[in-house]
Structure 1
Amino acid sequence: MSERKHTAKYLFIAEALGYQGGHFTGIAMTSERILLGYQQEKYGVKPAHVFKSERPNRTSRPDLIEKGMSEPTATIMWGALTDMNINPYEVVLWNAVPWHPYDPDKGLLSNRTPLAGEMEAGLKHLKTFIGLFNKPKLVAVGRKCEQSLSELGVDYIGVRHPANGGAPKFRRQLSELTQLN
């Protein structure tokens, strides 16, 4: 975060860490495949877009997933930032619920919608996180995050979450948002 603390123009905040991305990387909307450099050729996303001062370490098992876990939301987010030539060091990604809610019946490699209590517990962390930066534009990625930011009483711009068929609208809204600056 120190690489972005003074340069962040946008905080993109989504719902919660997913099992294919943040569960393994600890970074919102970022997958191992991005950190390990396997998204460069197809999507133009380089590990240095995420951070320069750290060397990534994989946490998934190479014998199960050779190139690391890949998350659709992460691929769409980072791909859009790259396609639109948005300086990745002007962007910080975060979640309203900064941990991974999973279905206990299905195990850690599952996702579930955060419970109301989890959303509420995330508010204090979200407020603290936002306070670390010098007035960036807050971008709510999806309705759940819009609810969290509304509860905090902060100004934000809402965009469609890119998952489940929302990628085209998300890209269009991201393009419109960045053209305003």
Structure 2
Amino acid sequence: MPEQFVASLGCYEGAAVFNPWKDVDSQHDQSEQGPEIRRRQLLHYLQERIGIADTLLCAEAIGYQGGHFSGIPMTSERLLLGGLQHKNIHPEMVFKNISPQRTSRVDLKPHGFTEPTATIVWGFLVDHEIDTRRVVLWNAFPWHPYHLDKGLLSNRTPTDAELAVGHQMLNQLLEQGQFKQTVAIGEKSALQLQQLGIAAVKVRHPANGGAGKFRAQMSDLLLK
């Protein structure tokens, strides 16, 4: 059940890892309710998709511009707050049964943090009129690894030991979701899934000039 899954996610602790569903970002969260809000938002996101979604789209790890504050992989706070509606990306595409809430301090980013990769992924679904509940967005390491010397507003590659823990959660999600296909975004995610023995189709990561190829490959997979 998604409730147990989200609760399990909230139990993880690791050095130089921020757990959005357990930890308070004392520097950047606007209140101590941040983890609770992020748990609720992830739960509703999953509840609206598990049993319905046919595709799991998996990237490498949570980033500070996305799930760190929204609580949802590859989904930015700005999207939840309605800041991408000019791109026809609306908050209700993420979940409908609760009102989205921000967790970051307003003075940091008045309109919420935004993540380019997240915007491209959601934009693809919108542009091709794909039901957003057909797809679950996830990460091989579902928490936010950061550089100790750079602080919480940084991203780093997860270690092999960290990925081993993340893969346990990924297997649970795959078992619950019974997806027809798993798609790995980028080389790193594809390699991680291959090492885990999970059959996945690889698509180009949309960052660093890869957006066009990402869209073309995703069209082949979701517009059959």
- TM range, normalised to the smaller chain? over 0.9
Q: Is the 8 A contact 2:56 2:179 kept in 1?
A: no
Query: Which residue identity does 1:127 align to in structure 2?
Result: N
- Does 92-101 or 165-174 show the bigger shift? 165-174
The Cα of 1:2 is off from its aligned counterpart by 1.3
Query: Which residue identity does 1:55 align to in structure 2?
Result: S
Q: Can you give the 5+ residue segments of structure 2 that lack an aligned partner in the other structure?
A: 1-45
Query: Which residue identity does 2:169 align to in structure 1?
Result: H
> Which of 162, 166, 169 is equivalent to 2:210?
166
**Aligned match of 2:28:** none
Q: Are 2:95 and 1:51 equivalent residues in the alignment?
A: yes
How far apart, in 2, do the equivalents of 1:151 and 1:125 lie?
15
**Aligned match of 1:35:** 80
Q: Can you give the 5+ residue segments of structure 1 that lack an aligned partner in the other structure?
A: none
How far apart, in 1, do the equivalents of 2:209 and 2:145 lie?
22
> Which of 137, 149, 155 is equivalent to 1:93?
137
Number of matched pairs: 179
Residue-by-residue CA offset, 1:92-131 (whole Å, 9 max, x unaligned)? 1010000001011000000111112112221111111111
The Cα of 1:34 is off from its aligned counterpart by 0.4
Q: Is the 8 A contact 1:102 1:109 kept in 2?
A: yes
SS at match of 2:47: coil
The Cα of 1:143 is off from its aligned counterpart by 1.5
The Cα of 1:90 is off from its aligned counterpart by 0.6
**Aligned match of 2:164:** 120
How far apart, in 2, do the equivalents of 1:78 and 1:179 lie?
15
Q: Is the 8 A contact 1:8 1:133 kept in 2?
A: yes
Q: Are 2:191 and 1:147 equivalent residues in the alignment?
A: yes
SS at match of 1:162: coil
**Aligned match of 2:56:** 11
SS at match of 1:92: strand
Q: Is the 8 A contact 1:127 1:152 kept in 2?
A: no
Query: Which residue identity does 1:172 align to in structure 2?
Result: A
Give the TM-score, by structure 2 length. Answer: 0.77
SS at match of 1:33: helix
The Cα of 1:74 is off from its aligned counterpart by 0.6
SS at match of 2:58: strand
Q: Is the 8 A contact 1:10 1:138 kept in 2?
A: yes
**Aligned match of 1:137:** 181
How far apart, in 2, do the equivalents of 1:116 and 1:154 lie?
16
Give the TM-score, by structure 1 length. Answer: 0.95
The Cα of 1:147 is off from its aligned counterpart by 1.8
The Cα of 1:60 is off from its aligned counterpart by 1.1
Query: Aligned-pair RMSD on alpha carbons?
Result: 1.1
Q: Is the 8 A contact 1:29 1:94 kept in 2?
A: yes
Query: Which residue identity does 1:10 align to in structure 2?
Result: T
Structure 1 stretches of 4+ moved >6 Å: none
More relative contact order in 1 or in 2 (CA 8 Å, sep 6+)? 1
